[in-house]
């Protein structure tokens, strides 16, 4: 297959933005029938490169060859005309419309609805992507929505399909299904560009990997011949950071949730049903599950942003369901929210003022007055302890990179001496170095006897970090089980909501050994 | 060719330069307008901006007119920082005047030291009460405080007109629609002989300092700022949204009420069918031109007050229509809003278009792309 001329070739492509160089001198060659990985950390320039190929942004330098002919792609419509399809990381579907209506809107020349529905069914059967054309999108899970996006691309008979981080919203089983579909497409001659930072997936699926680092080409390799470590080294430029996890006996229960019910606050949200959960001193409990299954709601009910029946949430023995966020903080609850900019920190304020957001009762204020020197000292302490890269404690929060801001927020909450720590997506969009530091900080908290609850979409992370794990699916929480006694398969099954019967599936292997090694 | 591109972070220089740019552009437009109207522009500028300040009396008038603008503008700025859009300061000002004036009329003839403080307090309370209506409706029923506060302005105008035409009309006033003149004890003392500037100006300066202290030093001010700039962060921190709305409206309503009572217990000396020359609305411009900062509000009020005086002078000396004041005010706000664009964006030279700038590229911000 390598003998055919490349279907797409990029030569020396570059793109710069006011603050960053997103791409610099990138070469990329994708052959027909090839599954080609573009691998890199967040901010390495993967998305920009794909947007250049798809005609969303224009490159500053370089040329693009399609079937050996030079092309300039000015718009997504033009890209589609050439036969390029793209499935975005964040879907662009209208919630209130049906599948067929959504797809019709995305096509340049849509056929009549009945005909379109027939085509949708045809393609979905052919590629094993079950989709009902007349279902409204808001009733669908994220995995189903992704299928709609893929079907939409397939209807245009693409010759090159770009998938941007497609598995972040899928259960492990659904990932395998998706891989089958992609392999099938490739076998039919379609080229696939697969963007990801998940090393194992790439080794499993892709024929070639182009690795980007800081907007530059770090190398092009055959991922099947690489190890996890060698790929990671190529991606981040140094060895994968390691940390130690040791078994530890948990202490008394610090946070307990009993029969928590919470109606959804918006029409497309998820209602929580009968959540039962306990987090003890000195343990990390992980909540796995795909976003949109009630994570937001659970976090807001635990943090106090939404209140519930008083006796459904207990914090250190106090019925806290009716307490607001500030009152729960007085009981020792600290919270690192998923949204860093805008929730965890005020974008336009300095880091030192941002400490006041949650630290106002820790000596940072006196009789309603702000103690600026104390604020600055505290901010400097966070910056030093957590190696936050920034222009000092007076730097504006929005000037920090995602990883550094996350280190700052985790640092702030950690140094505010928590008894219970609530963390959402601790390392989402954070570079590997910062992620290691943040995970180590959470482990340190656990070892100091803090009760830590981590809600994350990153299953690998949860398997590495947590002592016990549960899965949130469709607003219901699975039983909490010791992480070492479970398997990826079981968690995957639970993610699809199949834990109602409570029959534990015997662990077929022990993946935890691998992750904790 | 020039293109607008988002700045990596908001420019602080532009934040301060933008009001100056707006003032300069206002002057340039004024130059053109004066020319078109057949006035020698430089002479007109002199009449408009310099002549009012050439006499001591003129300066007194300048500070007098600035007083209600400062009072209203400070309150509004604090509210706007918290993103609570009280557009009805003119109504709260009017009710403040009615409440304070009512007390003054009730105790007509009582010559006691406590009367003036009571009159002022009544004014503040009146403004607060009027602002409490949008606050209640917003926190209880999630109505828009913009609409409610604005509509209440017209209610307050009608209420005042009813009172001076009916129950509170001066029985010895030759049937003019106005109340009796207030007694000396209910009036704000004058600061200088021969000038009309009164103690309210000192109160206004005091309020500037208080507001600065509140915004910069107090946790309550910080909470309001967070609620305005990042509502999600305020919820995360546990700051109450209702408290924010109430505080913002009570502060801006109260200071507008003070401005109102200071008018009737100051230069007017009685209730008249209209007690405000649109101060409550002009104060919205003042608050924004002043960058929602207390000191900025003080400077912006002085500029706006000069526009009022200049407008009057232009009517007398040049025979220009009274709309000239509103015209300059409007120009100032218009240019300010335009110039504010450059806080978040900058102009960049681009090469003549080859493959540059398809329509979709402008919608992609760099933060999404990296």
How far apart (Å, rounded) are the C-alpha atoms in residues A249 and A236? 35
Average pLDDT over residues A492-514: 58
How far is it, in rounded angstroms, from Cα A69 to Cα A71? 6
Please give the Cα distance from A199 to A203 (Å, whole number).
6
Residues 6+ apart with CB under 8 A from B205: B70, B298
Higher-confidence position of B126 and A497: B126
Give me the total of CB pairs closer than 8 Å, taking one residue from chain A and one from chain B.
115
Judge whether residue B360 has pLDDT over 80: no
Q: What is the pLDDT of residue B351?
A: 62
Measured distance CA(B308)–CA(A297) in Å, rounded: 54
Tell me how close the Cα of A75 comes to any Cα of chain B, in angstroms.
7
* Tokens at A450, concatenated: 């803090």
Question: Could you say which of B217, B230, B238 has the minimum Cβ distance to residue A324?
Answer: B238
Please name the member of B222, B238, B369 whose beta carbon is closest to the beta carbon of A370: B222
Question: Average per-residue pLDDT in chain A?
Answer: 87
Picking from B218, B238, B366 by the largest number of A CB atoms within 10 A of its own CB, the best residue to mutate is: B238
Judging contacts by C-beta atoms under 8 Å, the chain B residues touching residue A357 are 226, 233, 236-237
pLDDT at A92: 79
The answer to whether the CB atoms of B236 and A76 lie below 8 A apart is no
pLDDT band per the 50, 70, 90 thresholds, residue A65: very high
pLDDT band at B150 (very low <50, low <70, confident <90, very high): very high
- From residue A500, how far is each of A57, A473, A475 by CA, in Å? 47, 11, 12
The pLDDT, as a whole number, for residue B357 is 41
- For residue A401, give the chain B residue with the closest CA: B367
For residue B341, name the pLDDT band (cuts at 50, 70, 90): confident
**What's the token pair of residue A150?**
């893929």
pLDDT score of A249 more than 80: yes
Interval A391-403: pLDDT, tens: 888 888 988 888 8
Cβ distance of B232 and A72 shorter than 8 Å: no
Contact B369 A17 (CB under 8 A): yes
Cross-chain residue pair A360–B219, CB shorter than 8 Å:
yes
Q: Are B240 and B48 in contact (CB under 8 A)?
A: no
Determine whether the interchain pair B240/A45 forms a contact, defined as Cβ–Cβ distance below 8 Å.
no
pLDDT at position A3: 61
Nearest CA in chain B to A345: B233
pLDDT in tens, A349-375: 999 999 999 988 778 888 889 999 999
The answer to whether A423 and A410 are in contact (CB under 8 A) is yes
Distance CA B366, CA A353 (A): 26
Residues in A touching B359 (Cβ below 8 Å): 75
How many other CB atoms are there within 10 angstroms of residue A22's CB atom? 28
A447-489: pLDDT as tens digits = 999 999 999 988 888 988 999 999 998 899 999 999 989 888 8
User: Is A326 in contact with A278 (CB distance < 8 Å)?
Assistant: no
Chain A residues touching B225 at Cβ < 8 A: 349
Candidates 1.20.1730, 1.10.3470, 1.20.120, 1.10.10; CATH matching B27-52+69-347: 1.10.3470
Question: Cα(B83)–Cα(B79) distance, rounded to whole angstroms?
Answer: 6
Cβ separation A344–B358 shorter than 8 A = no
Does A72 contact B236 at a Cβ distance shorter than 8 Å?
no
Contact across the interface for A51 and B5, Cβ inside 8 Å: no
Confidence of residue B369 (pLDDT cuts 50, 70, 90): very low
Q: Which of B225, B240, B293, B358 to mutate to test the interface with A (most CBs of A within 10 A)?
A: B358
Which of B9, B238, B369 shows the shortest C-beta gap to A326? B238
Which residues are paired to A14 by β-bridges?
Answer: A61
Domain A243-332+418-517 belongs to what topology? Rossmann fold (3.40.50)
Q: What angle do CA B297, B303, B308 make, to 5 degrees?
A: 120
Distance from the Cα of B179 to chain A's closest Cα (Å) equals 44
Q: Is A266 exposed, middle or buried (0-12, 13-18, 19+ CB in 10 A)?
A: exposed
User: pLDDT value at position A515?
Assistant: 43
Rounded to the nearest angstrom, the minimum Cα separation between B220 and chain A is: 7
Please answer yes or no on whether A358 and B369 come within 8 Å at the CB atom. Answer: no
pLDDT value, residue A500? 64
A219 neighbors A167 (Cβ within 8 angstroms) = no
Residues of B in contact with A347 (CB under 8 A): 229-230
pLDDT at B354 over 70: no
pLDDT at residue A5 is higher than 90? no
Give strand pairing partners of A482.
Answer: A468
Confidence of residue A110 (pLDDT cuts 50, 70, 90): confident
Interface test with B, best of A301, A357, A412 (most B CBs within 10 A): A357
Quote the minimal CA–CA distance from A270 to chain B in Å: 19
Q: What is the residue-averaged pLDDT of chain B? A: 89
Q: What is the pTM of this model?
A: 0.80
Q: How far apart are CA A355 and CA B222, in angstroms?
A: 12
A271 pLDDT above the threshold of 60: yes
Task: Read off the pLDDT of residues B198-210 as tens digits, 9 standing for 90 and up.
Answer: 999 999 999 999 9
A51 with B369: Cβ contact below 8 A: yes
Q: Identify the CA nearest to A344 among candidates A432, A410, A286, A388.
A: A410
Query: Smallest Cβ distance to A399: which of B5, B9, B360?
Result: B9
Q: Write out pLDDT tens, residues A416-454.
A: 999 999 999 998 878 778 888 899 999 999 999 999 999
Q: Note the pLDDT of residue B356.
A: 41
Rounded to whole angstroms, the Cα distance separating B211 from B250 reads: 14
CB atoms within 10 A of CB B354: 9
Residue A262, beta-bridge partner list:
A272
Distance from CA of B19 to the nearest CA of A (A): 20
B288-301 tens-digit pLDDT: 989 899 999 999 99
What three-state secondary structure class fits B365?
A: coil
| pLDDT value, residue A197 | 80
| CB contact (8 A) between residue A343 and residue B230 | yes
Q: Which residues of B touch A (CB under 8 A)?
A: 5-10, 216-220, 222, 225-226, 229-230, 232-233, 235-240, 355-361, 364, 366, 368-370
Mind telling me how many Å the CA of A371 is from chain B's nearest CA? 8
Minimum distance, in Å, between the CA of residue B354 and any CA atom of chain A: 11
How large is the average pLDDT for residues A210-226?
A: 91
Nearest chain B residue to A396 by CA distance is: B9
Measure CB to CB from residue A368 to each of B219, B225, B356 and give the nearest one: B219
Residues A30/A160, Cβ–Cβ less than 8 Å = yes
> Is pLDDT of B358 > 50?
no
| Residue B34 distance to chain A (closest CA, Å) | 41
Mark out the alpha helices in A341-400 (DSSP H runs): 351-354, 356-359, 372-385
- Cβ contact A335–B236 (<8 Å): yes
CA distance B69 to chain A (A): 28
Q: Give chain A positions within 8 Å (CB) of B222.
A: 353, 356, 370
pLDDT of residue A358: 92
Chain A nearest CA to B360, separation (Å): 6
Q: Which residues in chain A are contacts of B230 at CB distance < 8 A?
A: 342-343, 346-348
Mutation target among B360, B362, B365, B367 for the A interface, most CBs of A within 10 A: B360
The DSSP secondary structure of B172-202, one letter per residue, reads TSTT-SS-PPPPGGGSPPBSSTT---BTHHH
Q: Which residues of chain A are within 8 Å of residue B8 when distances are taken between CB atoms? A: 18-19, 399
Number of other residues whose CB lies within 10 A of the CB of residue A263 = 13
What tokens appear for B248 in the block? 């913002």
SS3 call for A253: strand
Domains A8-236 and A243-332+418-517 share a fold: yes
Contact A55 B10 (CB under 8 A): no
Q: Do the Cβ atoms of A348 and B10 come within 8 Å?
A: yes
Segment B107-116, tens digit of pLDDT: 988 888 999 9
Which of A15, A326, A396 is facing B237, going by the closest CB pair? Answer: A326
> How far away is chain B from the Cα of A245, in angstroms, using its nearest Cα?
31
Residues 6+ apart with CB under 8 A from A37: A194, A195, A196, A202, A205, A206, A208, A209, A210, A223
Tokens of A264: 């959804």
Do the Cβ atoms of A255 and A317 come closer than 8 Å? Answer: no
pLDDT of A45 strictly over 90 = no
CATH top class, domain A8-236: alpha beta
A136 SS3 class: strand
Quick one: tokens of A133? 């054309």
Q: For chain A, which residues make up each domain, given as ranges?
A: 8-236, 243-332+418-517, 345-416
Residue of B nearest to A325 (CA): B238
> Average of pLDDT values for A32-43?
88
Per the CB < 8 A criterion, the answer to whether B177 and B169 are in contact is yes
Per-residue confidence (pLDDT) for residue A30, from 0 to 100:
94
Q: Which residue has the higher pLDDT, B353 or A198?
A: A198
pLDDT digits (tens, 9 = 90+) for A112-145: 888 999 999 998 888 878 888 888 888 887 778 8
Residue B345: strand, helix, or coil = strand
- Which of B3, B83, B219, B343 should one mutate to test binding to chain A, selecting the residue with the greatest count of A CBs within 10 A? B219
- Identify whether the C-beta of residue B92 lies closer than 8 Å to the C-beta of residue B127: yes
* Average pLDDT of the residues in B48-61: 91
Q: A432 to chain B, minimum CA–CA distance in Å?
A: 16
């Amino acid at each position: 297959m390598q003998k055919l001329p490349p279907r797409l070739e990029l030569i020396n492509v570059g793109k710069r933005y006011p603050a960053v160089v997103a791409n610099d001198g990138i070469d990329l060659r994708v052959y027909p029938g090839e599954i080609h990985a573009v691998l890199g950390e967040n901010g390495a320039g993967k998305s920009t490169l794909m947007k250049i190929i798809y005609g969303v942004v224009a490159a500053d330098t370089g040329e693009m060859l399609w079937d050996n002919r030079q092309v300039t792609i000015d718009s997504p419509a033009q890209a589609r005309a050439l036969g390029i399809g793209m499935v975005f990381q964040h879907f662009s579907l209208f919630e209130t419309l049906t599948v067929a209506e959504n797809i019709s809107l995305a096509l340049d020349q849509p056929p009549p609805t009945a005909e379109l529905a027939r085509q949708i069914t045809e393609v979905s059967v052919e590629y094993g992507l079950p989709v009902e054309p007349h279902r409204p999108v808001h009733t669908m899970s994220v995995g189903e929505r992704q299928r709609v996006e893929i079907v939409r691309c397939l209807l245009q008979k693409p010759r090159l399909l770009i998938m941007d981080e497609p598995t972040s919203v899928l259960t492990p089983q659904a990932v395998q299904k998706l891989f089958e579909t992609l392999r099938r497409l490739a076998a039919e001659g379609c080229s696939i560009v697969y963007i990801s930072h998940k090393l194992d997936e790439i080794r499993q699926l892709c024929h070639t990997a182009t690795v980007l680092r800081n907007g530059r080409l770090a190398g092009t390799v055959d991922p099947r011949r690489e190890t996890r470590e060698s790929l990671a080294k190529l991606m981040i430029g140094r060895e994968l950071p390691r940390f130690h996890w040791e078994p530890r006996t948990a202490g008394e229960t610090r946070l307990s949730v009993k029969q928590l019910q919470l109606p959804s606050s918006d029409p497309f949200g998820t209602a929580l049903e009968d959540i039962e959960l306990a987090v003890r001193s000195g343990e990390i409990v992980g909540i796995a599950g795909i976003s949109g299954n009630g994570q937001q709601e659970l976090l807001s009910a635990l943090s106090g942003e939404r209140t519930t029946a008083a006796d459904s949430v207990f914090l250190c023995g106090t019925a806290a369901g009716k307490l607001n966020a500030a009152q729960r903080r007085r009981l020792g609850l600290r919270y690192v929210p998923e949204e860093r900019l805008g929730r965890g920190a005020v974008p336009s304020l300095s880091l030192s003022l941002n400490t006041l957001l949650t630290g106002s009762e820790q000596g940072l204020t006196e009789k309603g007055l702000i103690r600026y020197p104390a604020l600055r000292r505290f901010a400097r302490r966070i910056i030093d302890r957590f190696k936050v890269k920034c222009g000092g404690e007076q730097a504006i929060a929005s000037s920090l990179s995602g990883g550094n801001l996350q280190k700052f927020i985790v640092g702030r909450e950690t140094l505010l001496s928590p008894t219970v720590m609530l963390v959402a997506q601790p390392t989402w969009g954070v570079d590997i170095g910062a992620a290691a530091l943040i995970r180590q900080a959470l482990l340190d908290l656990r070892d100091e006897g803090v009760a830590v609850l981590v809600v994350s979409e990153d299953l690998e992370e949860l398997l590495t970090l947590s002592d016990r794990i549960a899965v949130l699916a469709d607003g219901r929480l699975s039983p909490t089980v010791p992480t070492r006694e479970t398997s990826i398969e079981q968690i995957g099954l639970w993610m699809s909501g199949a834990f109602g019967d409570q029959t534990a599936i015997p662990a077929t292997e022990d993946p935890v050994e691998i992750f904790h090694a | 060719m020039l293109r607008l591109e988002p700045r990596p972070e908001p420019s602080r220089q532009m934040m301060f330069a933008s009001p100056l740019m707006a003032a300069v552009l206002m002057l340039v437009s004024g130059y053109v307008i004066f020319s078109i109207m057949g006035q020698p522009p430089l002479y007109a500028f002199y009449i408009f901006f310099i002549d009012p300040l050439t006499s001591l009396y003129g300066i007194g008038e300048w500070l007098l007119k600035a007083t209600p603008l400062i009072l209203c503008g400070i309150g509004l700025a604090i509210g706007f920082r918290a993103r609570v859009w009280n557009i009805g300061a003119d109504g709260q000002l009017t009710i403040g005047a009615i409440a304070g004036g009512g007390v003054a009329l009730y105790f007509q003839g009582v010559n006691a030291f406590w009367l003036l403080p009571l009159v002022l307090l009544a004014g503040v309370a009146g403004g607060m009460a009027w602002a409490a209506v949008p606050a209640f409706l917003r926190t209880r029923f999630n109505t828009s405080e913009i609409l409610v506060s604005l509509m209440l302005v017209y209610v307050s105008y009608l209420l005042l007109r009813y009172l001076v035409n009916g129950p509170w009309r001066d029985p010895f006033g030759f049937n003019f629609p106005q109340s009796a003149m207030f007694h000396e004890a209910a009036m704000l003392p004058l600061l200088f002989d021969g000038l009309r500037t009164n103690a309210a100006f000192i109160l206004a300066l005091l309020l500037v300092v208080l507001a600065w202290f509140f915004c910069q030093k107090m946790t309550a001010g910080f909470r309001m700022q967070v609620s305005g700039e990042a509502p999600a962060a305020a919820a995360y921190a546990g700051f109450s949204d209702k408290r924010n709305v109430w505080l913002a409206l009570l502060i801006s309503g109260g200071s507008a009420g003070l401005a109102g009572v200071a008018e009737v217990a100051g230069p007017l000396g009685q209730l008249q069918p209209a007690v405000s020359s649109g101060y409550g609305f002009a104060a919205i411009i003042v608050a924004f031109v002043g960058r929602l900062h207390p000191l900025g509000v003080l400077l912006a009020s002085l500029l706006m007050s000069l526009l009022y005086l200049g407008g009057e002078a232009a009517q007398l000396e040049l025979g220009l229509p009274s709309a000239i004041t509103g015209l300059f005010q409007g120009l100032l706000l218009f240019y300010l809003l335009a110039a504010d664009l450059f806080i978040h964006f900058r102009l960049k030279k681009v090469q003549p278009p080859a493959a540059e700038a398809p329509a979709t590229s402008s919608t992609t911000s760099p933060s999404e792309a990296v």
